[in-house]
């Protein structure tokens, strides 16, 4: 197994990540766990030697137990944030570039299994979410952008560095 594309840089980290956009009946599928007080996109880090497309197909299969094909690339997201995983990246500045792909979702799709976080210590669950769900979700743009999908690729930048000032 190749290493995840997380690279130390200065006092921080650079991550290359993929996310799957799985839509069904006006809801989108998100991952969650008992450690974090937020939900996040199905997906994960690209492994060295993988393309982003290969990584999203692998991540969907690992996290949902189902194989889905890619429809199209929907978003590229540059994100500066501080890590929150104790003993792994807590307090470190992370620059993450994520590629979010719309997946082809069959009518009978339901996730069939559970996975674990990258560090393998925390079990993940899959949850269907509506845009008006009050829980915190990442990426936040899912709330607005997934209610009115377009065929172009959109680019977003989120920068939380100023939040620490």
Domains of the chain: 6-164 (3.90.79.10)
**Considering just the CA atoms, what is the radius of gyration of the chain in Å?**
15
Q: Which residue has the higher pLDDT, 24 or 121?
A: 24
pTM of this prediction exceeds 0.85? yes
Helices (H), 31-103: 52-64
Q: Is 130's pLDDT higher than 70?
A: yes
Q: What was the pLDDT predicted at 122?
A: 72
Q: What was the pLDDT predicted at 85?
A: 74
Q: Is 163's pLDDT higher than 80?
A: no
- The pLDDT of 125-135, averaged and rounded, is 95
Q: Is 34's pLDDT higher than 90?
A: no
Q: Across all residues in the chain, what is the average pLDDT? A: 91
pLDDT tens column, 71-98: 999 999 999 999 887 777 878 999 999 9
Cα atoms in the 13 Å half-sphere on the side-chain side of 152 = 3
């Amino acid at each position: 197994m190749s290493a995840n594309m997380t690279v130390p840089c200065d006092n921080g980290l650079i991550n290359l990540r993929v996310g799957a956009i799985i839509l069904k009946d006006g809801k989108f599928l998100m991952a969650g766990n008992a450690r974090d007080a937020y939900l996040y996109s199905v997906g994960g880090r690209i492994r060295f030697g993988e393309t982003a497309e290969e990584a999203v197909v692998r991540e969907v299969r690992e996290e949902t137990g189902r194989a889905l094909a890619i429809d199209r690339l929907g978003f590229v997201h540059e994100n500066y944030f501080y890590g929150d995983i104790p003993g792994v990246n807590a307090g470190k500045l992370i620059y993450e570039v994520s590629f979010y792909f719309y997946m082809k979702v069959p009518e009978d799709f339901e996730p069939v299994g559970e996975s674990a976080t990258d560090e393998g210590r925390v079990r993940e669950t899959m949850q269907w979410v509506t845009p008006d769900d009050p829980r915190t979700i990442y990426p936040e743009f899912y709330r607005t952008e997934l209610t009115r999908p377009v065929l172009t690729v959109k680019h977003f930048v989120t920068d939380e560095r100023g939040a620490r000032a």
